[in-house]
Amino acid sequence: MVATAVIMAPAALRHLSSEAIILSGVALASLFASATVLIQYLASDTQLAVVVFWTFGDVARASWAEIVTLTVAVAAATLFAGLRRWDFNALAAGEEAARGLGVAVGRLRLYGMLSAACVAALATAFQ
C-alpha cells in the first residue's frame, strides 16, 4: 500500500498520464527488486536460505480467517469493478473522452488503484 501511495501522490500532484503512472510503477518495482538482490548479496548462508524461501512464498500457513479476509476483499474489488464497468470502458477510450462522458477520472483512477492495491497487498501478506 505504501508503494501505491508513493506512485499515486506525485501522479495526483502533477496530473500525470496513465503511461507515466505505469512507468513510475515499473521504476519502483525495479528499485524494490534491486533492494531484494542487495539483501541476498549481503546475507549469510542461513539468512540467504530464509530470504529465498520468503520470496517463493508459502500458502501452507494460511488459515481460514485469512482466506475469508482475502475472499471478501476480492469480492469487494470485483463488485466495485462491476459497478464501474461503464466508467472503466469510457476511460479505456481516453481520459478526455471519459471526462466528456461525465466520468470523474481522477476519483475513478484513485479508487481503482486502491482497490487493486488492497487485493494485491492482502494476497502478498497471506502467501
List, for residues 73-97, the tens digit of each pLDDT value: 999 999 999 999 999 999 999 888 9
Q: What is the pTM of this model?
A: 0.72
43 and 2 in a common domain? yes
Give percent above pLDDT 90 in the chain: 45
68 and 27 in a common domain? no
Residue 70 phi/psi, 5-degree rounding, is: -65, -40
* Residue that terminates a domain, selected from 10, 34, 56: 56
> What is the count of structural domains for the chain?
2
Q: What is the pLDDT of residue 54?
A: 78
52 and 65 in a common domain? no
48 and 77 in a common domain? no
90 and 43 in a common domain? no
**CA pair distance 111, 76, nearest whole angstrom:** 12
Domain containing residue 27: 1-56
